[in-house]
Homo-oligomer: A and B are copies of this chain.
Amino acid sequence: MKRITLLINCNDSKGIIASITSYIQQQKGNIVYIDQHVDREDVMFFMRLECEFSKDIFLIEDFRTHFSKTIAEKFEMTWQLYDSDLKPKMALFVSKYEHCLYDILSRYSSGELEVEIPLIISNHPNLEHVAKSFNIPYYCIKVTKETKSEAEDLQLKLLKEHQINFIVLARYMQILSSKLIEDYPNKIINIHHSFLPAFPGAKPYHSAFKRGVKIIGATSHYVTEDLDEGPIIEQDITRVSHTHTIKDFILKGRDLEKIVLSRAIKLHTKHKVMVFKNKTVVFI
Complex CA distance for A251 and B196, rounded to whole angstroms? 22
Complex CA distance for A34 and B46, rounded to whole angstroms? 12
Q: Which of A117-125, A173-181, A238-246 contacts B (4 or more CB under 8 A)?
A: A238-246
Flag if A14 contacts B37 (CB, 8 Å). no
Grouping DSSP codes into helix (H, G, I), strand (E, B) and loop, the A interface class, with mixed when no group exceeds half, is: mixed
Q: Does A17 contact B (CB under 8 A)?
A: yes
Q: Does A106 contact B (CB under 8 A)?
A: yes
Which residue on chain B has the smallest CB distance to residue A283?
Answer: B242
For this chain, the copies found in one complex come to 4
Of residues A39, A99, A212, A243, which shows the largest number of chain B Cβ atoms within 10 Å of its Cβ?
A: A212
Complex CA distance for A259 and B22, rounded to whole angstroms? 41
Contact of A106 among B22, B31, B102, B235 (CB under 8 A): B102
Interface size class on chain A is 35 or more
Please, which residues of chain B bring their CB within 8 A of the CB of A36?
A: 33-34
CB distance from A218 to the nearest CB of B (A): 11
CB distance from A271 to the nearest CB of B (A): 15
Please, which residues of chain B bring their CB within 8 A of the CB of A14?
A: 30
A1-30 CB contacts (< 8 Å) to partner B: 14-15, 17-18, 21-22, 24-25, 30
Complex CA distance for A38 and B214, rounded to whole angstroms? 17
Q: Does A234 contact B (CB under 8 A)?
A: yes
Flag if B199 contacts A40 (CB, 8 Å). no
Flag if B259 contacts A232 (CB, 8 Å). no
A98-157 CB contacts (< 8 Å) to partner B: 98-99, 102-103, 106-107, 109-110, 112, 129, 133
Q: Which of A74-82, A87-95, A273-281 contacts B (4 or more CB under 8 A)?
A: A273-281
Flag if B109 contacts A98 (CB, 8 Å). yes
Contact mask A155-198 → B, CB, 8 Å, 1/0? 00000000000000000000000000000000000000001111
Complex CA distance for A77 and B175, rounded to whole angstroms? 48
Please, which residues of chain B bring their CB within 8 A of the CB of A251?
A: 112
Q: Does A71 contact B (CB under 8 A)?
A: no
Complex CA distance for A24 and B17, rounded to whole angstroms? 10
Flag if B18 contacts A25 (CB, 8 Å). yes
Which residue on chain B has the smallest CB distance to residue A241?
Answer: B282
9 more A-B contacts (CB under 8 A) besides A18-B24, A214-B234, A215-B217?
A15-B25, A18-B25, A34-B34, A197-B211, A211-B279, A212-B280, A214-B233, A215-B237, A242-B281
